[in-house]
């Protein structure tokens, strides 16, 4: 199915960027123009077209999908595995889980899901949600 193929492509692209955090950061500010990047854009456009997206939805969708992939990789790629990042994550989790329900009822309501799932599960969910919005 085209949607699964597109999500898989975007996840693979993000995972590649995660392995090269400096590349992910540079893609945030520089526009790649190489043949492989053009092939990536071509493939995304084609899959969105198959999924029924209008030309505008597909063209603008490429931006938001690749921004999501790049931003995720830039954020997590530089933080993965560092003791400082792990400590920050643990502090955030403690703060959110320990937030008084009377003061933060929405955090209490969502506390079981705020950190649920693996990184890849959350990535797939995010891409699927964006794609569903693009193709309605």
Extents of the domains making up the chain? 2-135
- Using alpha carbons, list the distances in angstroms from residue 59 to 54, 77, 96, 108: 8, 27, 38, 39
Q: How many DSSP H helices and E strands does the chain contain?
A: 7, 0
What pLDDT, on a 0 to 100 scale, did the predictor assign at position 25? Answer: 84
Q: What is the pTM of this model?
A: 0.85
Fold of 2-135: Tetracycline Repressor; domain 2 (1.10.357)
pLDDT of residue 78: 67
Q: How far apart are CA 1 and CA 95, in angstroms?
A: 41
User: Are the C-beta atoms of residues 57 and 48 closer than 8 Å to each other?
Assistant: yes
Q: Residue 62's pLDDT is what?
A: 97
Query: pLDDT truncated to tens, each residue of the chain (136 aa)?
Result: 999 999 999 999 999 999 988 888 888 888 888 999 999 999 999 999 999 999 999 999 999 999 999 999 988 876 666 788 788 888 888 888 888 999 999 999 999 899 899 999 999 999 999 999 999 7
- Torsion angle in degrees (nearest 10) through CA of 94, 100, 101, 104: -80
């Amino acid at each position: 199915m085209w949607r699964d193929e597109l999500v898989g492509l975007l996840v693979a692209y993000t995972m590649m960027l995660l392995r090269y955090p400096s590349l992910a950061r540079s893609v945030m500010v520089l526009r790649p123009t190489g043949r492989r990047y053009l092939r990536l854009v071509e493939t995304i456009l084609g899959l969105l077209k198959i999924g029924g997206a209008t030309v505008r939805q597909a063209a603008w969708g490429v931006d938001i999908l690749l921004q999501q992939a790049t931003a995720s990789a830039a954020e997590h790629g530089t933080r993965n595995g560092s003791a400082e990042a792990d400590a920050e994550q643990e502090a955030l989790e403690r703060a959110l889980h320990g937030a008084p329900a009377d003061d933060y009822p929405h955090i209490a309501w969502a506390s079981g899901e705020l950190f649920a799932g693996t990184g890849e599960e959350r990535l797939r969910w995010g891409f699927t949600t964006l794609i569903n919005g693009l193709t309605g």
